[in-house]
């Protein structure tokens, strides 16, 4: 059975600061069984003169039998240096780029602010589409803020008013954290969710608090969520744990084993 699981590399960002660390971490991910990764927050690939460029990263991926199924890139890079970004993604063999959120320094948290972003994204989306690359937006919880009492959320602008060519890289944890049912959001986003982010939400022992957890170790309703993901057309399930309370590789293995037991 082929797996649809990937690692969002943000999870292991503390272990990718050098080329040697990146190579070792990719090997460990492949050894768990993951067939793919999302390239994001990799220190060895950051800065004006990165230790690892796209060609070097592609070789590391190929050496470990891994596919890059998505990236996170800054909006200003896509807006102002799109040709370079297209070349970067083609070198990686990646057909999906997302931004980590609507940049607050350019677009305020209002309906008009998000509508301006939707309009400004159109030429970027169209050019990427010509090159066979999809463009998406990754949510946290603040996109579910309601600027008007009893009004719609900011995310509703992206779901209801943007072109279907704007993909939605839904982070299901943050949807639940915002107080919504992620199954309902998945139903509304059908056909626009090729890659999603998964993490679990557990109650901290003895406290009235929650925190991120490996998948299957918390209280999210995976028996309901996974069928909804499949119905929505999810191609890749990217496991991401922003904060790990034990070794991140061990956390990734626990998530992998659980999700594989669910048929993924």
Q: What pLDDT, in 10s, does the model give residues 199-244?
A: 999 999 999 999 999 999 999 999 999 999 999 999 999 999 999 9
C-alpha closest to that of 53 among 15, 29, 88, 20: 88
Is the pLDDT at 90 greater than 70, yes or no? yes
Token pair recorded at residue 67: 């596919």
pTM listed for this prediction: 0.97
Q: What pLDDT, in 10s, does the model give residues 159-209?
A: 999 999 999 999 999 999 999 999 999 999 999 999 999 999 999 999 999
Give the pLDDT band (50/70/90) at residue 2: confident
Give the pLDDT band (50/70/90) at residue 1: low
Q: Which residues in the chain belong to E strands, given as ranges?
A: 5-8, 36-39, 67-72, 96-99, 134-138, 166-169, 195-198, 200-203, 210-213, 236-239
Q: What mean pLDDT comes out for the span 91-114?
A: 97
C-alpha closest to that of 139 among 163, 159, 162, 164: 159
Is the pLDDT at 252 greater than 80, yes or no? yes
What torsion do the CA atoms of 252, 261, 204, 241 make, to the nearest 10 degrees?
30
Residues 74-87: b if buried by 16+ CB within 10 A, e if exposed: ebeebbeeeeebbe
SS3 179: coil
Q: Which residues in 15-109 belong to E strands, given as ranges?
A: 36-39, 67-72, 96-99
User: Rounded to whole angstroms, how far apart are CA atoms 54 and 75?
Assistant: 18
pLDDT above 90: percentage of residues in the chain = 99
Q: What pLDDT, in 10s, does the model give residues 33-88?
A: 999 999 999 999 999 999 999 999 999 999 999 999 999 999 999 999 999 999 99
Token pair recorded at residue 36: 């793919």
Q: Which domains does the chain have, with CATH numbers?
A: 5-261 (3.20.20.150)
């Amino acid at each position: 059975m082929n797996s649809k699981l990937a690692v969002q590399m943000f999870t292991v960002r503390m272990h990718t600061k050098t080329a040697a660390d990146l190579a070792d971490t990719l090997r460990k991910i492949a050894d768990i069984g993951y067939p793919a990764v999302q390239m994001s927050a990799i220190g060895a690939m950051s800065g004006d003169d990165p230790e690892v460029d796209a060609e070097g990263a592609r070789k590391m991926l190929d050496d470990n039998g891994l596919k890059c199924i998505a990236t996170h890139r800054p909006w200003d890079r896509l807006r102002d240096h799109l040709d370079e970004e297209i070349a970067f993604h083609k070198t990686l063999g990646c057909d999906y780029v997302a931004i980590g959120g609507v940049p607050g320094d350019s677009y305020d948290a209002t309906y008009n602010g998000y509508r301006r972003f939707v309009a400004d994204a159109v030429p970027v989306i169209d050019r990427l589409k010509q090159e066979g690359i999809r463009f998406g937006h990754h949510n946290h919880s603040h996109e579910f803020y309601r600027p008007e009492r009893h009004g719609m959320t900011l995310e509703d602008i992206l779901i209801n008013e943007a072109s279907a060519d704007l993909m939605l890289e839904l982070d299901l944890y943050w949807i639940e954290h915002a107080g919504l049912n992620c199954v309902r959001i998945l139903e509304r986003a059908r056909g626009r969710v090729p890659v999603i982010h998964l993490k679990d939400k557990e109650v901290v022992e003895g406290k009235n608090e929650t925190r991120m957890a490996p998948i299957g170790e918390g209280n999210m309703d995976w028996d309901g969520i996974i069928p909804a993901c499949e119905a929505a057309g999810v191609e890749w399930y990217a496991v991401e744990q922003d904060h790990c309370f034990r070794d991140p590789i061990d956390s990734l293995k626990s998530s992998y084993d659980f999700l594989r037991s669910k048929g993924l």
